[in-house]
Structure 1
Amino acid sequence: MSNNANGTVNARDLSIASRGGGSIRGTLRTPSADEPLALVVIHPATAVPERLYAGFSEYLAGQGYAVVTYDFRGTGRSGAPRAVRGLRMRDWMDQDVPDVAEWSAARFPGLPRFAVGHSIGGHALALGSGVEGLRGMVSIASHAGVTATVPALPERVKVWLTLSVAGPLTGRILGYMPGKKLGLGEDIPAGAMREWGRWSRLPGYFFDDPTMDASERAAAVTGPLLAIGFSDDPWATPQQIDAITDHLTAADVERRTYSPAEFGVAAIGHMGFFRRGLREGLWPQVAQWLEERRHG
């Protein structure tokens, strides 16, 4: 592992042309003192801004990795959602994810490559998007987002109202879902909101969408995958994480479920892995998993 762990990190803005039109804005972080040892691309969650991943990407860059983070089109720095109102979730998975993966691979052609997918970012990896040539993949809180499986009734009602009522309604009126006002992160295009809501009502999520060929795609994915979940995540329960990984029949899947008590924090939930409070406890475990496969 690099001896740059306590050093500074270089960062520069990226703009990557998308095969679906427009551009994807992101950030490349690299060790300041050494040549990178490997490449990690972090694929984001729905309605989650790139800045959430800054701390973890800086940490990995300090360990010797080149790290790419970005916003999906129509979110954050990658454009206004109303301007791409018809953009769907599958477009993020099947266009943005491989676009960023291919740009990153071309930028660092000789390095071992890895991917980290948060929620929908992990879905894309499970469906084989952006996985070519990877040494390993890590999915964080990536689950089949079926509303009926949310354990707590108040949270289940809140999710249903957002995904099946408020989100689609505001999408039709405004051209986007005002995620900030609805308490679901960033604003997102109406097309993504409609697809998200429809999948959330299917018992098998997008595996029950015949236009996705999801089961066949997942069965073709190979290589090591570390799938991480958290005991206090209100949405990504172990069963719903398994509902994704069970389809990865050709991959070498390792499942881990952590609790906040293991790291002396009050909560982790769906977003907490990427917060800096876990820098000394949980992040090194993922870095070690990557390091072991870098040498493999």
Structure 2
Amino acid sequence: MSKVNCKEVTIICEDGYKLAGSIFSPSGQIKGAVLIGPATGIKRQFYKPFAEFLAENDFAVLSYDNRGIGGSLHGDIKKHSASLQCWGLLDQPAAIAELMAQFPNTSYHLVGHSAGGQLFGLAHNAKALTSMFNFASSSGRLLNMKIRDQFKSHFFMNLFIPISNSVFGHTKSHWLGMGEPLPKAVAKQWQTWCNGGGYVKTAFGKTIDKHYFDELTFPTMWVNAVDDFIANDKNVQDMMSVSPNIQAKTLTLDPKDHGLKEIGHMKFFSRKASVLWDIPLEWLNSHA
């Protein structure tokens, strides 16, 4: 395995906003370059063990914090204007551009986690990607969940988010163990999109005038877990339908098949679940 070199970078978005990023690169020749698209409210440090694993296997990696999250939160979160769509329209394309600048003349891949693999069609330069591997990326549509799961989802989306936004000026999602606190507009848009169908599709022709979902044709792998009530099979298919021309494969994991107690929505990238990491590595090797 290659020795891993790590460094911090600042990613400049089209509107001048600065994002915090981390680069992981092998000391020798690279097979390709990978962007890790983070889940909603999840800091880039969460993906460090996985990024190091990819770098040890000769892939360069860039992870980053979306605006309003972690190292990319500047100022008072209550006054922050970040939204889900600007994560896709501004942050992810800036991260793709940074990946290409750091590692020219190679293949480029997105490993998306939840929102990180849901917003790719908003990036104007997504066509530069060779492939995409997603975990737990789905529409998150509440109506496609089992009844018992709809109750807790409705509580968070349709009660907790509006009350928290009203009282605190942002969503205290960390109170429920759901990552970092969220800027008001991020949580509000998340609520709206998950109450509709097709996630980001609900904003087409409304707040989103231009997108590239129907123009993208690169190969994609959509992986979910049987114990993830959010990214269930129906919601994965619902999200995939937004990109009708992509080459899509799916894989549903059962933790028991891999000697794990759980995978759920978050555990795939945990070091404890590293037994699963050969799955994305094989995908990347086959598309590098």
Contact 2:140 2:194 in 1 (8 A): yes
Quote the RMSD (CA, aligned, Å).
2.0
Deviation for aligned residue 1:104: 1.1
Aligned counterpart in structure 2 of residue 282 of structure 1, from 257, 267, 276: 276
Q: Equivalents in 2 of 1:84, 1:50: separation in Å?
A: 23
Instruction: Tell me, yes or no, if structure 1 residue 90 matches structure 2 residue 58.
Output: no
Distance 1:130 1:165, change over 3 A: farther
Deviation for aligned residue 1:183: 2.5
Deviation for aligned residue 1:213: 5.7
Aligned counterpart in structure 2 of residue 73 of structure 1, from 67, 72, 94: 67
SS at match of 2:279: helix
Q: Which has the larger displacement, 200-209 or 111-120?
A: 200-209
Contact 1:35 1:64 in 2 (8 A): yes
2:188 counterpart residue number: 194
Contact 2:201 2:242 in 1 (8 A): no
Give the length in aligned residue pairs. Answer: 286
Contact 1:128 1:220 in 2 (8 A): no
1:45 counterpart residue number: 39
Distance 1:21 1:176, change over 3 A: farther
SS at match of 1:132: helix
Task: Identify unmatched segments of 5+ residues in structure 1.
Answer: none
Q: TM-score by structure 2 length?
A: 0.92
Q: Equivalents in 2 of 1:54, 1:200: separation in Å?
A: 28
Q: Equivalents in 1 of 2:224, 2:32: separation in Å?
A: 25
Q: Deviations for 1:40-76, whole angstroms, at most 9, x for unmatched residues?
A: 0001010112122111100000000110011111011
1:163 counterpart residue number: 157
Q: Deviations for 1:142-175, whole angstroms, at most 9, x for unmatched residues?
A: 011112222251x322221222222122223323
Q: Deviations for 1:7-52, whole angstroms, at most 9, x for unmatched residues?
A: 43111111111223431001000113x1322100001010112122
Contact 2:11 2:95 in 1 (8 A): yes
SS at match of 1:97: helix
Counterparts of 1:204-223 in structure 2 under 5 Å? 204-209=198-203, 210-211=205-206, 217-223=212-218
Q: TM-score by structure 1 length?
A: 0.90
1:110 counterpart residue number: 105
Aligned counterpart in structure 2 of residue 237 of structure 1, from 226, 232, 237: 232
Distance 1:127 1:165, change over 3 A: same
2:178 counterpart residue number: 184
Q: Deviations for 1:254-291, whole angstroms, at most 9, x for unmatched residues?
A: 11111101210010000111011232x32112111111
Q: Equivalents in 2 of 1:48, 1:93: separation in Å?
A: 15
Q: Equivalents in 2 of 1:212, 1:222: separation in Å?
A: 24
Contact 1:85 1:175 in 2 (8 A): no
Aligned counterpart in structure 1 of residue 51 of structure 2, from 52, 57, 71: 57
1:143 counterpart residue number: 138
Contact 2:124 2:211 in 1 (8 A): no
Q: Equivalents in 2 of 1:21, 1:211: separation in Å?
A: 25
Distance 1:239 1:214, change over 3 A: farther
Distance 1:170 1:20, change over 3 A: farther
Task: Identify unmatched segments of 5+ residues in structure 2.
Answer: none
Instruction: Tell me, yes or no, if structure 1 residue 252 matches structure 2 residue 247.
Output: yes
